[in-house]
A and B are shown apart, each in its own frame.
Chain A
Amino acid sequence: MLKIQGLECGYGRMRVIEGVNLEVGAESVGLFGPNGAGKTTLIGAVMGINKPWGGSIEFDGKRIENTDTHFMARMGVALVPQERELFPGMSVDDNLMLGAAYIPHARDKSDEQLEKVFSLFPILRERRKQLAGTMSGGQQRMVAIARALMSNPKLLILDEPSLGLQPSIVAEVFEVLKELKKTVSILVTEQNVRESLRSIDRGYVLENGKIVIEDSAEGLKTNPYVLKSYLGL
């Protein structure tokens, strides 16, 4: 589904991503790494938010480097950005409907999709009329994920969904991802390796712009380097 080969990326004269290969099929894939490893830059390159310097990115067999972000969304790639990127001045309902309104293949099924989203996040049904900006951090994250799902994506990309959330909400978010991976491909970046390993099939470790480890979730759990550096064992 998503195939990245030899990706080079950076800002100004600083190279951030150096020859990364990464693939996501019908599965849930984790991308781990410390702050500054280049996780967000890599996702930005996929979404057309920052332009790749070199290498290739394919989605559904089509080359997509330099495709505008809104086209990526219409092609079926939904992004839940790192900051709580939602529409604070709009109600929960409007936030969700906006997720589908501009995506041709999602527009007609938005009512159906809304039901699905509400069954994943029941709290949002109760808060439909509330302004999204007035909700708690965890609820805003749920709105952001729900909004992305409203576009009925083939690939869902989440950039550090656990960032700044209390542990119980983090667990809830990863439970939802576990449920979601049955129907949609997922690429999730995380620093919280322990929690996210439970919801992914495979993972990559990115350090200083290079992939240093690529393994199944089981393999990562027993990898001595991962154990020492990311799980603190």
Chain B
Amino acid sequence: MKKPANYIFPLALIFAGGLLPVFLGAYPQAVARSVFTFMALAISWDMLLRSGQISFGIAGFFGLGSYTAIILSVRAGVAPVVAMLSAAAFAALVAFLLGFLVLRLRSTYFSITTLALGEIFKVIIHNWSSFTGGPEGLVLPQVVFGGKSSSLYWLSYAILLFAVGASVLFEKSKMHFSLTAIRNNEIAARTSGINIFANLLIAFTASSLIQGLVGGVHVMSYGFAMPDTAFDANYTLLPLAMALLGGIHSTWGPIIGALLLGVISEYLKLMIPYGHLLVYGLIIILVILFMPRGIYGLIKKERSKRNG
């Protein structure tokens, strides 16, 4: 049985996160929003990774969500909340349909194909100028909440909590069993009665839904989208690095990783402009060499050692 103490820490953390804008100025709030964005993406990436499938398509679905939201706002004038929810729904729908093709692939072939998907989305949006604004992109007449810093903070915090909730649901439900079994051994999973395709499709759709939602919220908060920024490779690479640093196959791992890398990179940006990426890369290499299970993996190992 779980002790109540196991719930107190996460609940306190959630509460503290919500209170931050009361104490922090606009700049730290903006940093926090960026950290939350990447954190939610890192968590969504890990949700699929638990089945053993490495997706490089985060930026693709993020960008797809961004453009869904901004096109609906600019061309159809829908309410921001509708635009953001549509971003999630459209990314999920595209993932669901494409899942029938790409989820037949495994390992490197799956990864490369997801990378290509993102590029295909980008090329379509880049060239469909009359509808998408082409290379110059689209600009919103006004960002949500009139750009009020604390409101934008709470919005991105709510999205983060949604991603965390989805990930915890995956961890606590039978989904966890299915995905771990598929990652461990597909033949054994199939002969145990697990419908591999259905489980992968759910995981792929759910993780893409979160990525689309984060993209939609991001674009509504910043007010513009261009193919090169909405599909920036950093939206794939940074969440990946964060999850690896924090520890994969868990919810805590990506949270810890995103918090550390997000804050460190912001600090380094101020200390050594343009040099921060170098330090960033070094951290990632060192972690993978010496902490292959990430920080949370190390914590878990120490804890199980202490408990015998």
Report how many residues on chain A are interfacial, defined by Cβ distance under 8 Å.
27
Tell whether B190 is near chain A: CB-to-CB under 8 Å: yes
CA of A204 to CA of B188, assembled, Å: 26
Does A103 lie at the interface of the complex (its beta carbon under 8 Å from any beta carbon of B)? yes
Q: Does A9 contact B (CB under 8 A)?
A: no
B188 touches A70 (CB 8 A): no
Report Cα–Cα, A78/B191, bound state, in Å. Answer: 7
Closest chain B CB from A28 CB (angstroms): 20
Q: A87-B180, A101-B177 are in contact. Are A70 and B187 (CB under 8 A)?
A: no
Which of B180, B189, B190, B195 meets A49, CB within 8 Å?
B190
Q: How many A-B residue pairs have CB under 8 A?
A: 65
CB contacts (< 8 Å) of B181 on chain A: these are 87, 90, 98
Interface size on B, residues (CB 8 A): 18
B185 within 8 A of A: yes
A101 is contacted by which of B174, B183, B190, B195 (Cβ under 8 Å)?
B174
Which interface residue of B174, B178, B194 has the most chain A CB atoms within 10 A?
A: B194
Q: How far is the CA of A70 from the CA of B191 in the complex (A)?
A: 6
Interface string of A74-101 (1 = CB under 8 A from B): 1000110100011111100010001101
Contact of A47 among B174, B188, B189, B191 (CB under 8 A): B191
B263 within 8 A of A: no
Alpha-carbon distance between A147 and B187 when the two chains are bound, in angstroms: 13
Q: Are B184 and A89 in contact (CB under 8 A)?
A: yes
Known: A98-B177, A98-B181. A86 touches B193 (CB 8 A): no
Asked if B192 is at the interface (CB within 8 A of a chain A CB), the reply is: yes
Bound state CA distance, A217 and B175, in angstroms?
45
Name B residues whose Cβ lies closer than 8 Å to a Cβ of A: 174, 177-178, 180-181, 183-185, 187-196
Interface residues of A (CB under 8 A from B): 47, 49, 68-70, 72-74, 78-79, 81, 85-90, 94, 98-99, 101-103, 144, 147-148, 151
5 examples of A-B residue contacts, CB within 8 angstroms: A70-B195, A72-B191, A73-B190, A85-B191, A102-B194
- List of 5 A-B pairs having minimum Cβ-Cβ separation, nearest first: A102-B193, A73-B193, A87-B184, A69-B190, A85-B188
